[in-house]
Amino acid sequence: MTLGEKITDLRKKRGLSQEDLAITLGVSRQAVSKWEIGDAKPDTDKVVALADYFDVTTDWLLRDIEPQQSTHCRTDAPLSPTQARTGAPLLLCMTLGGSACGLFLLLYGRFVSASTIPSVIGVILLICAITLAMGFGLYLKNGLDTTQGANFIRTFWRIEIWMVALLPVRMICSALMPLLNLIPEASLSHLWIRLPQPLWGLGRVLLFAGIPLALYLAVCLFVTLVLCRRPSKKD
């Protein structure tokens, strides 16, 4: 049995396409095709990578012998690149939905409910959703498809930041608000002295409400724009 036949047999037992195997090894699909038909042979580092991925020895791969009847090849891989690409959108929706539910429960427990139980459940949901999303993204990035894993993490945080940023921004504003309350009413009114007097109070409300809103929007837009930039080759 030639090296190309062994690669083909191992790939099919794992349920992978040539493109899936190429993505895993960091080569082109044409390279895998040439290996399998015998037009080219993989480099030494790729032979080692093949042996590690399929849980066989390099000696068995390189020697022209019949395949051994053993359990070396794991046919029950946790997740193939194709399955990962198919399941990524569903998992993204699930984790973002979990975060939204967690944030709702957290705010409900903080401002509406007389019990802290909703807030505790909300925090747990937020942590679980973020942990699951990051774990899946890092699994893709380190094990299956580096580009897809990075894109999954970027997409998740482009949306997630608009939910989780509410908490730290609120904490910062709660710490700064007592300082704003120290400003005398007369001083604030002097800022709008040319405006009709009924608008002075409105100006104070806009000042106190506008600072948290501006801070929240600044944080969310900054993170979103950073994650939307085109990643460089080094990334």
Contact between residue 90 and residue 97 where contact means Cβ atoms under 8 Å apart = no
189: pLDDT strictly greater than 60: no
The pLDDT, as a whole number, for residue 43 is 86
pLDDT in tens, 69-103: 444 444 444 555 566 667 778 888 898 898 899 88
Residues in the chain, total: 235
150: pLDDT strictly greater than 50: yes
Q: Which residues are within 8 A (CB) of 209 and not within 5 positions of it... i.e. 6 or more apart?
A: none
Query: What predicted TM-score, i.e. pTM, was given to this entire model?
Result: 0.54
* Between 171 and 78, the higher pLDDT residue: 171
How many CA atoms within 13 Å lie on the side-chain side of 17?
A: 9
233: pLDDT strictly greater than 60: no
Mean pLDDT over each residue of the chain, to the nearest integer: 76
Contact between residue 131 and residue 95 where contact means Cβ atoms under 8 Å apart = no
Query: Residue 179: which H helix or E strand, with range?
Result: helix 166-181
Contact between residue 156 and residue 148 where contact means Cβ atoms under 8 Å apart = no
Confidence bin at 161 (pLDDT 50/70/90): confident
The pLDDT, as a whole number, for residue 74 is 44
* Between 163 and 74, the higher pLDDT residue: 163
